[in-house]
Amino acid sequence: MFNPVDARPDLISIEHEALRRWREEGVFERLRAQTTGGPAWSFLDGPITANNPMGVHHAWGRTYKDLFQRFRASLGHELRWQQGFDCQGLWVEVNVERELGYTSKRQIEEQGLAEFISLCKQRVLTYAARQTEQSIRLGMWMDWNDPADLLKLRDALAKDPATSVTINGANGPISGPAEQLIGRLGTPEVGGSYFTFSDENNDLIWTFLAKCHERGWLYKGSDSMPWCARCGTGISQHEMTEGYADREDQSLYFGLALVDRPGEELIAWTTTPWTVVANVAAAVQPSLDYELVEFDGRKLWIGASRRAAALGGGAPRAKLLETRKGAELIGWKYRAPFDALPAVSEALGPDGAAHRVIAWDEVGSQEGTCIVHIAPGCGSDDHKLGVAEGLPAIAPIDESGVYLDGFGNLSGREWHEVTEDVFTHLTAAKSLLRREKITHRYPHCWRCATPLVFRLVDEWFISMGPLYEKPRDHLTKAEIDASLRYQIMAVVDRITWLPEFGYERELDWLRNMSDWMISKKRYWGLALPIYECTACGKVEVLSSRKDLEGRATAGAAALEGHTAHRPYIDEVQIDCSGCGAKVARVPDVGNPWLDAGIVSFSTMRYREDPEYWKRWFPADFITESFPGQFRNWFYSLLAMSTVMASSEPTKTVFGYGLVVGADGRAMHKSWGNSIEFDEAADRMGADVMRWLFVGSRPEENVHFGWEAADETRRRLLVLWNVYAFLVGQAASAGWKPKGSSATAKGRSVMDRWILSRSAELAASAERSFTAYDAYSAVRRLEEGIDELSTWYLRRTRERFAPDAPAADRDAAFDTLHQALLTLLRVAAPIAPFLTDAIYRNLASEGLADATGTSQAVGGAELPLAAAIRAGEAPGSIHLLHWPSAESAPWRDEVLEASMDRIIRAAELGRSVRSAANIRTRQPLARARVVLGVSGNDEAELREILADELNVKIVEAVGDASGLFERRVKVLLPKVGKRLGGSTQAVMQAARDGVVEFLAGGAVRIAGVDLAADEIEVQAVPREGQHVAEDDGLVVELDTTLTPELISEGDARELMRAVQDLRKLAGLRREDRIELQATGAQAPLAAHSAAIAAAVGAEKIQDVDRDPAGEEWRRGSVPLSSGEATLAIRRVTG
RNA sequence: GGGGGGAUAGCUCAGGUGGUUAGAGCUCCGAGCUUAUAUCUCGGCGGUCCCUGGUUCGAGUCCAGGUCCCCCUACCA
């Protein structure tokens, strides 16, 4: 027997209960055990940043990850079940700094790196534990570390890195000093999630970098880079995503006094006042016109096209003195307002002697003054231009954005707080012409939102190689060998990108990206294994920690017992292989995408177990949200796999969009549209969340909110309802799955139909999941729930009644039981909690011992129903094989097509009734139909339709032309050209039906002859006919009402009214009643037996007046003879 | 700044190569069905197809100009 079921499920407690059971019964471990040895299906998890609690946006991707893994496991595949945490990088530092209240790098160094790095590690462990708990709550099945172990490691590390700790390893307890154990997280012996700060991860990146160096791709570049003064680090091109925001700035027009043309000035424009001190040159466009104007006592050179704009409101006062081409200005020398500053005269000579006008093609005619202020120390283009022109560079600020010495009263102050002083100085120097506020797009730090500046820095890059000016298929092998860029593209070609546009987007990124900046002047991250000799300049890149230990000639002791992080690794020195001098590591740390990109090697035992690596690499599947990842994880994964193995890292990349608020805007706490993961899990539940996500189109953003969740929950409640019905009826009828032996053959049409639909569902969902199209699977599942509930169950309901014929009832129960189980098994990867809870109850009779299950259950050899009968059903739906093989024999496509027609015909019939104003409860004598359904089931299908339409008989007719009149539709695309100007008149006449039919199918309309193939004769219902048509399907109702039919209709009306009263009275199906009625003599006389049976009445009385007594529930019902009144009461005992 | 996409019902979106009554889902209203249902069925309300002009017998669709939004990309002063 099944356990009783609530009408309204408490989804949240069902989920907690399932989590508890999975844990206690080791369900996941059993799934792993039973799939071991199966064909490999390799999923590679993109690491989640362990820096904060998980958000609902993570839940979307994690749902995909989980469902495809569950699906593959149900097909018998062996999986690795390893997920990963991204651990190193600026974002962790930023949060730790915030916790400490730090605002600059200096404070970190004062505190000491060892302490700071330890805090970074602790933070990662804190949130790895938290995210582990949250992911488990989401139902994500992975080889998780015990969160308590992670916290234990954290606490030990905080106390003393050398503390010995014992945690759960892959094969039992494992012990070691805390810091060293942390470095071994994710290894085969420790098991669990991978952590990108692990020894193996960092070590393999060294290998990668050494390979790049061997091939000559690694170099130190000096460039003007976007720089975050707060973080004290350069920002790489990869990190510029979403780094732009509108910003209001002060722009200024300022004069540069010409040396050889006394009294004349060049007017330059800039939006960055802080860079004016670094001015070295002024660039003009040689082909543009420049004008010298007299204005308020000054003589100013301005681009002709910008004169009015530059002078603002005073423009009309200007007097034109002279016009010259830009080319003529080139070489003019000038003095700038800050030439007296020591740092400036040191760089440019006394009085700024090096200032001159230069040519630059990029100068446009639509901005500023067409004279561009050039500061090679403060801008990327400026820097390039400066190099080309042989100009000196002035780099005024340090890594914190503070002015260096030699800049007068600016020295020691931050770049963004000197604007007013610059204006004051320019005004005093009689240079300032005008200032105005402008808003423009400006780059900001993606982590801390500080506006960026451009700074001259030395950074390390991996060269992407040349970009050729010809199509890729014209490149020679030598050209490709010389360019990592094209090698990666070749790898991109071999990957299946979902959605398809991902392919183009990745190629586009590769075409456009410049060299990969891999260094950061920070603390918490990969220690770059780069050793640059200060004596001879030789650069060496070490390939592993072992390599370093072999080469170390000083400081090795400091590193001992520590992971390869700062500050310990900074102590180690090697002897330069060129000149023998002592060399220390460059202090920079690595770009964090290096950490995530190496995981297809570091987590797949690339070094210690090549056989294992070959089995799992390349991955079959990766999935991440695509905004950003084309330049980040996808890119680094591709680049590193290309360099390390010349292979694609994965066969399929599946990208999905963003989670936004219900209003379509990005989630923001202050906008009130933000939902935390924990809140969502507690209120809507994980299954609803998962279903909502998977039912969304991956290429578009999900609008996530409570209303959408309610809509999703409603769908799942329908499923629950079917289940609750089955359990409730089984209790009443005493049905058990064990006694059932029904097979598909010989069952009723309805039974065979729903089983066939179940088989189709399993097969089509398998196809969808295999193609990573979970969206279609959800759509099909929702259709399946609908079919099961609103067609199968609604039409079959009465067969489950306790007093229904036993054999047929048995078949109905068995059919519903199997159809429901099949649907649940298809839905299980998406909604793992609810489906498992229902399964457990539906299979409760036949559950095997916890250990006695095997993979074969639910396959073709041992169908689930047989396993339940044999007491061999596994304890969880997630241990069953995918149901398509076992359900395949149920398939009957002809029947499915026929039933489709019947369902549609029923809808047409209801439409006819509605139009004729005859309610469905009123029986009619006859329906005539053109069905287009044939075969053995035709008669039974017609009976279903008759019952559904409440007609005595459904008569199939071959031709329904008598019910319709001809209407001519002119085929405009065919005749429009020929008709020309008379088109409108012909169309109007055709609409009015003024048509003359000619021989051979031709017609004459509005005086124009149209051939048979130029028109289409359509059938529209004849006036007064009760008929509806759709796609060749015709339903006509005979609406003649005889006294017998009316009386029967009244009887139905009466039953309905009594049922309503029963419901109002809160009676249950098995309760018996007594009925008294007034004004319903005729139907009672003719149909009392049927009424009594339908409403469960033991006694029916036709009375003159309502009975007295409070126990009676009263109501009324309109009958053909007038209003009747009713009263019922429950018969007790 | 460059490149791409879009603007259609209150909301989310469909509407090959132009064809005359512009559709679906959700919402709302009405009716129907129903002692499993919050489901479902039928019907209704709801549109200046962003604006202006053009081509055409005919334009949501094609062309030109404009306005606004989104995505990708970019340190132009």
pTM: 0.91
Nearest to A929 by CA among A1041, A1022, A1030: A1030
| Ramachandran angles phi, psi of A532, nearest 5° | -110, 120
Q: Which of residues 1018-1077 of A touch strand B (CB under 7 A)?
A: 1052, 1056, 1059, 1062-1063, 1067-1069
Angstrom distance, A1131 CA to B68 C1': 71
What pLDDT score does A1095 carry?
A: 87
Cis, peptide link before residue A350, omega less than 30° from 0: no
d(CA A164, CA A177): 4
- Which run of H or E residues covers position A60? helix A56-74
Pairing of strands A194-195, A432-443: unpaired
Q: Which of residues 762-791 of A touch strand B (CB under 7 A)?
A: 786, 789-790
Q: Which parts of A494-611 are beta strand (E)? A: 496-498, 516-517, 519-520, 530-532, 539-541, 552-554, 573-575, 582-584, 589-590
Q: Is the CB of A428 under 7 A from strand B?
A: no
Complex ipTM more than 0.90, yes or no:
no
Name the 3-class secondary structure at A629: helix
The vertex-A136 CA angle with A132 and A142, nearest 5°, equals 80
Within 8 A by CB and 6+ apart from A1079, the residues are A1119, A1121, A1122, A1123, A1124, A1125
Name the 3-class secondary structure at A110: helix
Angstrom distance, A1021 CA to B65 C1': 49
Q: Is the CB of A972 under 7 A from strand B?
A: yes
What pLDDT score does A816 carry?
A: 95
Q: Is the CB of A699 under 7 A from strand B?
A: no
Q: Is the CB of A509 under 7 A from strand B?
A: yes
Angstrom distance, A502 CA to B54 C1': 39
Task: Compute CA distances A846 → A5, A693, A842, whole Å.
Answer: 19, 34, 9
Segment A483-496, tens digit of pLDDT: 899 999 999 999 99
Pairing of strands A1122-1130, A1113-1119: antiparallel
Q: Are A694 and A830 in contact (CB under 8 A)?
A: yes
What is residue A1003's DSSP assignment? E
Q: Is the CB of A966 under 7 A from strand B?
A: no
As given in the structure block, the two tokens for residue A801 are 């009644």
**Which nucleotide is closest to the Cα of A909 by its C1'?**
B42
**Which nucleotide is closest to the Cα of A440 by its C1'?**
B1
d(CA A536, CA A800): 91
- What amino acid is encoded at A173 in this protein? P
d(CA A211, CA A213): 5
CA torsion, ordered A1009, A1010, A1016, A1020, to nearest 10 deg: -10
Query: Which residue is closest, via its CA, to the C1' of B26?
Result: A711
Q: Are A684 and A15 in contact (CB under 8 A)?
A: no
b/e sequence A228-255, b meaning 16+ C-beta within 10 Å: bbbbbbbbbbbbeeebeeeeebbbbbbb
Q: Is the CB of A808 under 7 A from strand B?
A: no
Segment A150-162, tens digit of pLDDT: 999 999 999 999 9
What pLDDT score does A178 carry?
A: 97
Q: Is the CB of A707 under 7 A from strand B?
A: no
Per-10-residue mean pLDDT of chain A, 1133 residues long, equals: 88 96 95 95 96 92 96 97 96 92 89 96 98 98 98 97 95 96 96 97 97 94 83 78 73 93 94 92 91 94 89 88 94 94 92 90 84 89 86 89 93 91 94 85 78 87 86 88 91 89 85 86 95 95 96 95 96 96 95 94 96 97 87 92 96 89 77 86 93 86 84 89 93 83 74 94 93 89 90 92 87 94 96 96 87 73 91 93 94 91 90 89 92 86 93 88 80 83 83 83 86 81 80 87 92 90 83 88 87 87 81 87 88 74
Q: Is the CB of A286 under 7 A from strand B?
A: no
**β-bridge mates for residue A290, sequence order:** A303, A324
Q: Is the CB of A508 under 7 A from strand B?
A: yes
Q: Is the CB of A380 under 7 A from strand B?
A: yes
Q: Is the CB of A368 under 7 A from strand B?
A: yes
d(CA A526, CA A197): 8
Helices (H) and strands (E) in chain A, counts: 40, 44
**Which nucleotide is closest to the Cα of A795 by its C1'?**
B34
**Which nucleotide is closest to the Cα of A790 by its C1'?**
B40
Pairing of strands A519-520, A589-590: antiparallel
Angstrom distance, A1021 CA to B56 C1': 36
Q: Are A928 and A953 in contact (CB under 8 A)?
A: no
Q: Is the CB of A921 under 7 A from strand B?
A: yes
- What amino acid is encoded at A1075 in this protein? L
Angstrom distance, A1067 CA to B38 C1': 20
Cis, peptide link before residue A627, omega less than 30° from 0: no
**Which nucleotide is closest to the Cα of A1062 by its C1'?**
B35
DSSP states of A179-236 as a string? HHHHHTTTSTTT-S-EETTSHHHHHHHHHHHHHHHHTT-EEEEEEEEEEETTTTEE--
**Which nucleotide is closest to the Cα of A1059 by its C1'?**
B35
Q: Which of residues 709-748 of A touch strand B (CB under 7 A)?
A: 711, 714, 717-718, 721-722, 724-725, 728
- What amino acid is encoded at A1095 in this protein? V
**Which nucleotide is closest to the Cα of A375 by its C1'?**
B77
The bases of strand B with some atom under 7 A from any protein CB are: 12-13, 19-21, 26, 30-43, 57-58, 71-77
Cis, peptide link before residue A499, omega less than 30° from 0: yes
